[in-house]
Amino acid sequence: MNSDAVKSNPTTPDPGTLKPGTLKPETPRNSHGPAATGITSTPEWRALSDDATSLRNTSLRKLFSDDPHRTGTLTLDVGDLHIDVSKNIVTASTIRKLCDVAQAAGVLERRDAMFRGDRINTTEDRSVLHTALRLPRSETLIVDGVDITEEVHAVLDRMADFADKVRSGQFRGATGERITTVVNIGIGGSDLGPAMVSQALRHYSDAGIDSHFVSNIDPADLVSTLANLDPARTLFIIASKTFGTLETLSNAEVARQWVIDTLATDPETQKSVVAHHFVAVSTNIERVTDFGIDEANIFGFWDWVGGRYSVGSAIGLSVMLQIGPVHFREFLHGMHQVDHHFRTAPLEANAPIVLGMLGVLYTHFFGAETRAVLPYSNDLARFPAYLQQLTMESNGKSVTLDGSAVQTGTGEIYWGEPGTNGQHAFFQLLHQGTRLVPCDFIGFAKPTADLHNDAGASMHDLLMSNFFAQTHVLAFGKNAEEIRAEDTPESLVPHKVMPGNRPSTTILAPALTPQVLGQLIALYEHQVFVQGTVWSINPFDQWGVELGKTQAQALLPLLTSGAPGASTVDGSTSDLLARYRKWRGRS
């Protein structure tokens, strides 16, 4: 390994440990061993590594004063999104090097393979075609002899027809009442996407339909949701790709009983009551019909749509019912705009590539382990949670596509809260803590609704002044000299120093419309793809969640009785189970 490679090795001790005030990052703490093969042994990676070494010794203050045109060059535009990356610790030359690495990793070839429908999800032998869900009707995509666009639009048309009927009152409950409440029962990708979008686009709700989302196996979720609902006016959507998920099926069974108990006057009417109050979204028609939902009430999708990539499929039915087919199509159009951009924009202007690669840069060369996503929009409160599944279930992997151990860190940890709430909670650590946390700030010029305080100030302006102030302060801070100039007692100066040099990306859009939300989602989806390719992992499987599920099934009998099987669990779990049984009044 030459000296350049040593510099790029994330496990090589770095003399510049993180000191408050300079934010020189400590060596990344991942322990994946020396980077001997794959992307980290390419000349492109070494060039990036050299650049990162000098970047770690500079500051955003210096970068801004060295290049007055910096902001002009370090911005990207995609659809309605204006993305300012100038407050990242990079130069235009770094962006070129990041793009070189992406190219060397085969991002472009793999991207084209994904859009073509190649089976790039190799561990499940599946195509990855969530991008086909938002193809316009006019664009043909044939995979394995099947006209994918036609299939997609056939389902969209059925959804639209159903949505129109429910929204207009043509489709009614078993007793003839209008449907005014929709409860989506699903979990993971069958919940987080529609729940997030439903909240984000609540101001597009125009047919008097109230949406609820039940996901947790914790009965508190279903109980609290059903408490104030009228079954005669409620439609349940059972959303599950596999229709085999314990949480969803248990909640669905209880909901079905609740409806039958109230509305089915005799056993003869049960079937028709279920048909009036239950529809399903799934790829598994057989299981849905076994559950008792009529085939006519099933909206299908395909195994080439990953759960966490499925909000543009029939999984979005609850959203379509709420905002209507026209706005739902605008949402899909926004996603398609970013798909098109990802396919066609030159590397350095390609927003998903640049943003995904910034995450790679901070992960490998700045010791960052997390990325905060901070929407300055209360309507986007669930966006960070949605992104957690999208990004972490996708890229939380430690073996490469060929099954060997990864030689690099993978999977940024995503977290966040809407602004300004986060400012009053964890921003202290962002500003003065010892960790480097790259932040994505997302804001909108126009409010969904505005109010004015006694001084006549627009509350949306107050929100957005915080949005702009935070990225400025994170980047430039306030040094000791500036603090002393304010007559601060010397003993307080070190406490008040704001180190600055904390990177952030600003995503600004005109308004939170269905189209803009679609753009935001696709922007993050494709970042995940870019990173997964560079790390040589499969972002489209999720084997790691299976063992916990089977273990829970195996443990279930031990929650009731300590008898046979107790000896098969470890001492800690066994003690905890005994205490649980005791507190539940069991033997």
Ligand X SMILES: O=P(O)(O)OC[C@H]1O[C@H](O)[C@H](O)[C@@H](O)[C@@H]1O
Known catalytic residues are: 393, 424, 549
**Cα–Cα distances in angstroms (integers) from residue 415 to residues 90, 347, 531, in the given order:** 23, 27, 17
| Closer residue to ligand X, CB minimum distance, 394 or 515 | 394
Residue with tokens 């799934």: 282
State the minimum distance, in angstroms, from the CB of residue 540 to ligand X: 10
Which of 331, 333, 393, 297 lies closest to 196, judged by CA? 331
Contact with ligand X (CB under 6 A) among 25, 38, 188, 418: 188
Distance CA 166, CA 159 (A): 10
Contact with ligand X (CB under 6 A) among 545, 552, 554, 576: 545
Q: In 3-state terms, what secondary structure has residue 407?
A: coil
| Closer residue to ligand X, CB minimum distance, 189 or 194 | 189
Segment near ligand X (CB under 6 A), from 50-58, 182-190, 493-501, 550-558?
A: 182-190
Contact with ligand X (CB under 6 A) among 18, 187, 521, 528: 187
Backbone conformation region of residue 536, classed left if phi is above 0, alpha if psi is from -120 to 50, else beta? left
Alpha helices of 91-232 — where are they, by DSSP H? 92-104, 107-116, 148-168, 192-200, 219-226
Q: Is 312 in the site for ligand X (CB under 6 A)?
A: no
| Closer residue to ligand X, CB minimum distance, 220 or 547 | 547
Characterize 515-552 residue by residue with b for buried, 16 or more Cβ atoms within 10 angstroms of its Cβ, and e for exposed.
Answer: bbbbbbbbbbbbbbbbbbbbbbbbbbbbeeeeeeeeee
Q: Is 411 in the site for ligand X (CB under 6 A)?
A: no
Distance CA 98, CA 77 (A): 18
The number of helices, as runs of H, and strands, as runs of E, in the chain is 24, 13
Q: Is 248 in the site for ligand X (CB under 6 A)?
A: yes
State the minimum distance, in angstroms, from the CB of residue 352 to ligand X: 21
Calculate the CA 420 to chain-centre distance. 20
Q: In 3-state terms, what secondary structure has residue 504?
A: strand
Q: Is 500 in the site for ligand X (CB under 6 A)?
A: no
Distance CA 14, CA 468 (A): 33
State the minimum distance, in angstroms, from the CB of residue 246 to ligand X: 9
Q: Is 251 in the site for ligand X (CB under 6 A)?
A: no
State the minimum distance, in angstroms, from the CB of residue 237 to ligand X: 12
Contact with ligand X (CB under 6 A) among 190, 377, 408, 515: 190
Distance CA 258, CA 276 (A): 14
Contact with ligand X (CB under 6 A) among 330, 339, 393, 417: 393
| Closer residue to ligand X, CB minimum distance, 49 or 215 | 215
Q: In 3-state terms, what secondary structure has residue 443?
A: strand
Segment near ligand X (CB under 6 A), from 30-38, 166-174, 183-191, 321-329?
A: 183-191
Length of the chain: 587
Per-residue contact string for residues 436-475; x = within reach of ligand X by CB under 6 A: ----------------------------------------
Contact with ligand X (CB under 6 A) among 245, 318, 423, 505: 245
Segment near ligand X (CB under 6 A), from 184-192, 211-219, 484-492, 521-529?
A: 184-192
Count the residues of the shown chain that bind ligand X, applying the rule CB under 6 A: 14
State the minimum distance, in angstroms, from the CB of residue 187 to ligand X: 5
Q: Residue 21 in contact with residue 499, Cβ under 8 Å? A: yes
Contact with ligand X (CB under 6 A) among 25, 189, 419, 518: 189
State the minimum distance, in angstroms, from the CB of residue 264 to ligand X: 26
| Closer residue to ligand X, CB minimum distance, 77 or 286 | 286
| Closer residue to ligand X, CB minimum distance, 469 or 545 | 545
User: Which helix (DSSP H) or strand (DSSP E) does residue 8 occupy?
Assistant: helix 3-8
Q: Is 308 in the site for ligand X (CB under 6 A)?
A: yes
Tokens linked to 518: 């679609």
Tokens linked to 142: 């044939």
Q: Is 231 in the site for ligand X (CB under 6 A)?
A: no
Q: Which residues bind ligand X (CB under 6 A)?
A: 187-190, 240-242, 245, 248, 307-308, 393, 542, 545
